Amino acid sequence: MSNRATVVITGGAQRIGLHCARRLVEDGFHVIITCRHLRPEWQTTPLQGIEVIQADFSTRNGIQAFIDELTTRQIRLRALIHNASLWLGDDQPDALEQMFMVHMQAPYMLNNACASLFEAGKPADIIHITDDVVRRGSAKHTAYCASKAGLESLTLSFAARLAPDIKVNSIAPALIMFNQHDDAAYRAKALGKSALGIEPGPDVVYQSVRYLMDAPYTTGTCLQLNGGRHLK
């Protein structure tokens, strides 16, 4: 067990989650990320300062196995960041059920089980990464939106339950970074949805995480990272 306070980031193997993990390592934290599958590139280029635990959040048993790992090792938590996410279309069988497990069941079980791993009297944070789509709903991605909305509701409930010892907040990103395969037409359309019209990059999520971790008087809130989409 590390002597340093630990930040756990679920689903931290790539993109925004991995960026935040690396920045938090730079800040001096012991960082644990979860992933379903180990990345081949980590064999030749190991992640510096980041511990990886394989975890399957698609089943209750998989979630419980990860909880057992943390509790057996008596991990000393500073923050628990629920970044694990699943994107399935409404036409896919069991889409809502699968996304419910990742977006709601896993955070629910982890929050309940891991509250005792935070040090009494020390700063403690749980952060849910939701989605800006919750603000409006989605005709095309009903199941995804509903499960992320449920995660947003869990933010409020756990903030009330765990106060004053643990702050619980959420971050709701819209466009943060494009995928390599996104074409010019898609990029232009996506950028046009916000007032600021930029691709901000993953550091804005890290900045939001650090703000919430450092703000002693903020709980039960949602930081909207949407570049002013609500103004368009």
Give residue-wise pLDDT tens across range 128-139: 999 999 999 999
Mean of pLDDT over the chain: 95
In a domain, 1, yes or no: no
The reply to whether 83 falls in a domain is yes
> Where does the pLDDT of residue 157 fall: very low under 50, low under 70, confident under 90, or very high at 90 and above?
very high
Task: For residue 178, tell me if it sits in a domain.
Answer: yes
CATH number for 115: 3.40.50.720
End-to-end CA distance of the chain: 49
Instruction: Give how many domains the chain has, as a whole number.
Output: 1
pLDDT value at position 3? 65
Higher pLDDT, 83 or 232: 83
pTM (two decimals): 0.96
Does 66 reside within a domain?
A: yes
- What range does the domain containing 65 cover? 6-231
Angle at 25 between CA 52 and CA 47, to 5 degrees: 40
The model's confidence at residue 2, banded by pLDDT at 50, 70 and 90, is low
* Active-site choice (108, 144, 206, 217): 144
144 is catalytic: yes
Mean pLDDT of 151-168: 98
Residue 134 located in a structural domain = yes
